Chain A
């Protein structure tokens, strides 16, 4: 049997080494009153490091994570040999549930998709159910990463598609944001129609129309655009570095727990919307990167491969042709890019638009699982625009 049940079990030696390193943490100073302007504030980092050293219990969180039904299986990728892929797989009690592949991005991880699993698999007469697969992208979590250059979005997509087929889901739908959008979009392009029947994303973007006049937008929408512009000016250094010199960055991020903590924590805060992270939550998220099978560097390389040689910005997320299969969009007010709905028609064959939710940012599956699950139920449920896209998997008990 190719599938192996998987339980996270970080060797004690690694935990000990982490503690040794933490005990030697050397911190920089900080400019007076700098707040978040220059990056993550020192007080936050000090507090998190102190907790990581004393009080944070990895084994407890590891055991909690292991309540998720995790597996690994080898998946061959043309030209790249076979990679051992880590994933969550939870079937619904409802036999005719809709197979759904959830794909995270960066700095996402499989944990991001874990909260929607019980919601989507739950059975009800009032909404459809799903069989849920949460993939750890190669190089992230406990999936093996590429060993040679050239492992690009098409290869990530190949992994996702082959995983679903291997699980017996010849036809399925996808959900993804961040790199998950690029990967599921590629899945829709390469395997759409035949295997992927519809795709849904929470990362919405689009171009203004040719005759765009900013003054025609509501002040709310103008503020959203200004906020996006601010985030772009302020927050793209990580992307620039990871897409050009991921290896140079890797030495620091592999060797320094506090360095890695700050690098990722900055985004966990900047990219979420009124989400009250607990320190242990942050530390679990960071620990997964720290203890990941390939180390943090495995997660940077997707930037180099997919963005290092762009001819247009965000090429991997919008390159023609737009997929033809039905597309659903969920709109969350705190994501990095928030555009008027009309601009986002160019993303594909949009059949579903959610309301603009009250709250939620770049990781809505984690921040607002009820809202995201609700949108998927609306899109794929009875009366929804994508009802029945997967033949014989309508999502309901007979």
Chain B
């Protein structure tokens, strides 16, 4: 049997080493009144390091993750890259004909991003469809093995996701993703769409300004706000991308060796990219710990940027606009604090848009920040009256014993 049940179990020695390093943390100073302008504020980082050193209980959170997420590993062969041991969560619904759904995370996300939507998507109800949910740790993230040689790009990540679904017996499935999850599920839709992937949904809506006559349309005030945030991200928030897509190994030494260095690097995004999400310190630390204790180490998680957007790639590839738009049905969920949020009119060329929803709040990590809203959208898209109802033949998402529930 290729599938092996998995429980996270970080060795004591690793916890001890982390503790020793934390106790030796050396912090920089900060300019007076810097706030968030120069990066993650010193007070926040001090507080988090202090908690991490004293009070934060990894074993407790490890146990919670193991209790709430049914995890497995299995070997997946990738053309030209040998076989990688892939870590994933697989939660089946009670509903036999639930729709198989693959959720794909990005950076600095992980499988943990699915923890809130999982129980919602799988739950049985007469009023909405159910899903069998699969989410995997991207190679180089969480507890998946990483690629060992150059050239493991978006196509390869897509191959892993697709092959995992097939291996689980889901010959036809749908996908949901944001961040790299958007890019990877787009590739899945391009390469495996129609035959295997039947529809895709994203919360990171990309796009281009309209050309020609369409460009004359006046922008609404809301649009201007969206563009202002997008511009702020572009001007002030993309240093990480510039480094990770050109010199990931150089940065990798620091993020591997320094717990506080890794903490600050990721924490800055967890705050800047969310919509005032009320992070608790332990929540942050669990998120960071998954990176710190990851099978391949934090440096491996940076390489996707180089492979997908590095100096050797074309502009189209870097803009994730390579190849024709996928033909399978596409659903969009717009969250206003998404960092690449843009006027709706700019996303018409993304694909075959059959579903679209807007929200009042929420940012980049929609599945984590707004699980109810995101799941609601996915249910509407695939539900009985939805535009993508029945895309997976024989998997309507509803119990066949009649729809009246009780």
Which A residues contact B (CB, under 8 angstroms)? 17, 20-21, 24-34, 37-42, 45, 146-149, 230, 233-263, 266, 294-297, 301, 304, 308
Contacts and interface: CB of A to CB of B under 8 A. Distances in A.
B246 A236 contact: yes
Given A245-B239, A247-B42, A252-B258, A32 B250 contact: no
B327 interface: no
Interface string B1-43: 0000000000000000100110011111111111001111110
B45 interface: yes
Contacts of A39: 247-252
B148 A31 contact: yes
A251 B260 contact: yes
Contacts of B42: 247
Interface in B239-287: 239-240, 242-265, 268
Interface in B278-302: 296-300
Contact of B39 (A34, A249, A261): A249
B225 to A, nearest CB: 21
Interface in B22-75: 24-34, 37-42, 45
A309 to B, nearest CB: 9
A243 B239 contact: yes
B306 interface: yes
Contacts of A249: 39, 239, 265
Contacts of B37: 149
Nearest to A304: B38
Contacts of A230: 311
Contact of B28 (A146, A251, A266): A251
A59 to B, nearest CB: 21
Most buried by B among A26, A40, A235, A295: A26
B403 interface: no
Contacts of B34: 149, 247
Contacts of B29: 294-295, 297
A38 B253 contact: no
11 contacts: A30-B249, A33-B149, A234-B246, A240-B238, A241-B240, A249-B239, A252-B261, A255-B261, A256-B257, A259-B255, A308-B236
A16 to B, nearest CB: 11
B147 interface: yes
B395 interface: no
B239 A244 contact: yes
Contact of A248 (B32, B248, B252, B265): B265
Q: Which 5 A-B pairs have the closest CB atoms?
A: A252-B261, A259-B254, A39-B249, A248-B39, A247-B39
B38 A246 contact: yes
A38 B252 CA distance: 10
B260 to A, nearest CB: 5
Contact of A259 (B237, B253, B296): B253
A165 to B, nearest CB: 27
Contacts of B252: 28, 39
Contacts of A29: 146, 296-297, 299-300
A24 B17 contact: yes
Nearest to B27: A254
Most buried by A among B20, B248, B253: B253
B25 to A, nearest CB: 6
A255 B311 contact: no
Given A38-B303, A149-B31, A245-B39, 20 more contacts: A21-B21, A31-B149, A31-B150, A31-B303, A38-B150, A45-B253, A234-B311, A237-B242, A237-B245, A238-B247, A240-B242, A241-B243, A244-B235, A245-B40, A248-B268, A251-B264, A252-B254, A261-B253, A263-B251, A301-B31
Contacts of A304: 38
Q: A-side binding surface: helix, strand, loop or mixed?
A: helix
Given A255-B26, A256-B257, A248 B264 contact: yes
Interface extent on B, as a size class?
Answer: 35 or more
B29 to A, nearest CB: 7
Most buried by A among B39, B147, B240: B39
B257 A26 contact: yes
Contacts of A149: 31-34, 37-38
B239 A20 contact: no
Interface in B166-214: none
A229 to B, nearest CB: 10
A28 B253 contact: yes
A295 B28 contact: yes
Contact of B250 (A240, A244, A250, A262): A262
Interface string B346-366: 000000000000000000000
Nearest to A296: B28
Interface in B149-163: 149-150
Contacts of B260: 251-252, 255
A29 B252 CA distance: 9
Contact of A256 (B242, B253, B300, B306): B253
A26 B16 CA distance: 13
B261 A38 contact: no
Nearest to A41: B249
A250 B17 contact: no
A257 B24 CA distance: 12
Contact of B150 (A37, A259, A261): A37
A236 B149 CA distance: 24
A252 B255 contact: yes
A237 B251 CA distance: 10
A107 to B, nearest CB: 13
Contacts of A147: 31-32
Contacts of B297: 26, 28-29
A262 B246 contact: no
A251 B40 contact: yes
Contacts of A301: 31, 38
Interface string B138-150: 0000000011111
B168 to A, nearest CB: 29
Most buried by B among A37, A42, A245, A251: A251
Contacts of A241: 239-240, 242-243
B297 to A, nearest CB: 5
A252 B264 contact: yes
B152 to A, nearest CB: 9
Contacts of B24: 17, 20-21, 24
Contact of A24 (B20, B248, B296): B20
A110 B235 CA distance: 32
Contact of A244 (B236, B244, B245): B236
A362 to B, nearest CB: 17
B261 A256 contact: yes
Contacts of A234: 246-247, 311
B257 A246 contact: no
A296 B311 CA distance: 27
Interface string B289-324: 000000011111001001000010000000000000
Given A248-B40, A251-B40, A252-B261, A237 B239 contact: yes
Contacts of B236: 244-245, 308
Contact of B148 (A25, A32, A250, A256): A32
B259 to A, nearest CB: 8
Contacts of B299: 28-29
